[in-house]
Structure 1
């Protein structure tokens, strides 16, 4: 058994080196404790901000997001007035502190009121707000493959068709997260099947030959561009029309280790020949080193 000790007296040190024994009359030798292993640390709830904490932990565990934030110029502003600076501080705390860190600077830089801090917010909307606040700051950053503006950004196409009136309209929609129904879907693939499934829409107002007519139409959705990191927003809360309240969906739900998006992607005309869609892991990415190097 190896014992790490500090022996203050020179004579005692000599005796120990010669015999391996220190007399009991010697002054006590303070033991040097082993440093605890670096562990990942949490974020304290500021009010009702558990949703925000989970989003911030996801950002931290995405190396590309961390690098993009580290490269942003902060111009010496106060933490509470500068979102990238407050994120840089948070990421440093998560990397180097052994205890939990806090988020007052984050919520202040996002302009949260005390009411917003005390109430649950929509996590997809907060993610949009963070990305929209950070994207303009990337214009002054050095060239880098790590860009918040492209990390989560994808696109899908909504199409509405009415065969009776030979009517068709298509709309390209940008997204940073995909809202998925989970009731009766059993898992991610089932939710994606429901997302792209053809739906009949009743009484659609259609401009036809100078007049407006109401007809049933068919609506389809398909992905046309996928982001490096695909965020799936599970709709755990639904509106109950009878009670007129939100209720939480408690259905069992499965997550695959890998998600093949090929069946849900339709390439744009200028993307002919490209791969039908990437395969995603079930998490945003592997957990980083507890002491991530900002320059890595």
Structure 2
């Protein structure tokens, strides 16, 4: 098996043994050293099951658009390199022209699942999430019965299909009823459900720095203080998304300012000297640990106490290209002197990826 010389540069990592011969016969020099970390056996790739190919074709850097470059060597390789024709008992194999560049494709609404589609697109554009899902064991299960397998298929479709894909296997593996498919769901709750369903499956996966269980998981500290009774209580709260008010906040920084702002809480029941007393107290919130991917859940819908209905907040809202979380973070005592790690933020289900190439 060998490759057409005009595409050898982009695919050379899969067959390091051909590098010298390609340079000798065509004059093309390929520096293999920067690519050694990606080298894999092409034989094992071609013998893989279609399910395994979802991972290997996507993550190895050999997308479907390059499969036309693979030629089975049944004739003289040197002659092919010079003429583009394979001499054998079979008809010559023509050189297939390079297909047009792959464009992004969408996901068809299954019912009222636009919220789910936006979440799935966010997952797809997070390389760490996609790699974590590809590492999960899915042997002997059908797509509709296995969430990671249905996600693997969806990610492959989004990488390689020219048209939109669908989500029946996703909703079936999540246990959605027809009623749930037809109704809007809370996107933060669905994200929690997906993560909770995937996290136990990571236990059987190979060791990897990419874990769904830690990708979105952060922590903030709620503190309530009453100076009059010298009372204080602190609670650490884990989160996968941060709910932000947007009314009168103008932008993300304003919403975060409101999230951590001191609030007066009236009539807090406080145990004091063997009795229970009601006093006003001050509540503060500060982040103590930020996740690799910070999800910001904008509260666009609020309850109108007069109409007794939910209404959508249509205020203008600004999103910075870079978000400094330093003013909102207070390190735990055991983290003193350590700077928070890099955090890649997301809002409304669209998260910038530190490595945005979908095929990486």
For this structure pair, what is the TM-score category when the shorter chain's length is used for normalisation?
0.7 to 0.9
Check conservation: 2:138, 2:149, Cα contact below 8 A.
yes
Q: What is the CA deviation profile of residues 77-120 of structure 1, one whole-angstrom value per residue up to 9, with x for unaligned ones?
A: 01111000000000011011101000000000001111110000
* Greater helix share, structure number: 2
Q: Distance in 1 between matches of 2:264 and 2:116?
A: 36
1:139 shift after superposition? 0.5
Q: Distance in 2 between matches of 1:21 and 1:279?
A: 52
Q: Distance in 2 between matches of 1:295 and 1:20?
A: 28
Q: Does residue 284 in structure 1 map to residue 345 in structure 2?
A: no
Check conservation: 2:86, 2:93, Cα contact below 8 A.
no
Alpha carbons of structure 1 residues 117 and 264: separation in structure 2 relative to 1, 3 Å: same
Q: Distance in 1 between matches of 2:76 and 2:211?
A: 60
Q: For 1:27, which of 91, 95, 119 is the aligned residue? A: 91
Check conservation: 1:182, 1:235, Cα contact below 8 A.
yes
Q: After the TM superposition, which parts of structure 1 deviate over 6 Å for at least 4 consecutive aligned residues? A: 1-34, 282-295
Normalised to the residue count of structure 2, the TM-score between the two structures is 0.70
Q: Distance in 1 between matches of 2:291 and 2:238?
A: 11
1:75 shift after superposition? 2.0
Q: Distance in 1 between matches of 2:72 and 2:337?
A: 74
Q: For 1:141, which of 201, 205, 218 is the aligned residue? A: 205
Question: Is the deviation greater in 281-290 or in 82-91?
Answer: 281-290
Q: Distance in 2 between matches of 1:27 and 1:158?
A: 73
Question: What count of residue pairs does the alignment treat as equivalent?
Answer: 296
Q: What is the CA deviation profile of residues 226-258 of structure 1, one whole-angstrom value per residue up to 9, with x for unaligned ones?
A: 000000000000000000000000000000010
Check conservation: 1:162, 1:215, Cα contact below 8 A.
yes
1:284 shift after superposition? 10
Q: What is the CA deviation profile of residues 108-161 of structure 1, one whole-angstrom value per residue up to 9, with x for unaligned ones?
A: 000111111000000000000000000000001111001000000000000000
Alpha carbons of structure 1 residues 38 and 162: separation in structure 2 relative to 1, 3 Å: same
Check conservation: 1:6, 1:32, Cα contact below 8 A.
no
1:24 shift after superposition? 33
Q: Distance in 1 between matches of 2:142 and 2:85?
A: 57
Alpha carbons of structure 1 residues 206 and 53: separation in structure 2 relative to 1, 3 Å: same
Q: Distance in 2 between matches of 1:220 and 1:19?
A: 74
Normalised to the residue count of structure 1, the TM-score between the two structures is 0.85
Q: Distance in 2 between matches of 1:98 and 1:287?
A: 23
Check conservation: 2:293, 2:343, Cα contact below 8 A.
no
Instruction: Note the residue ranges of structure 1 that are not aligned, 5 or more in a row.
Output: none
Q: Distance in 1 between matches of 2:67 and 2:135?
A: 44
Q: What is the CA deviation profile of residues 1-27 of structure 1, one whole-angstrom value per residue up to 9, with x for unaligned ones?
A: 999999999999999999999999999
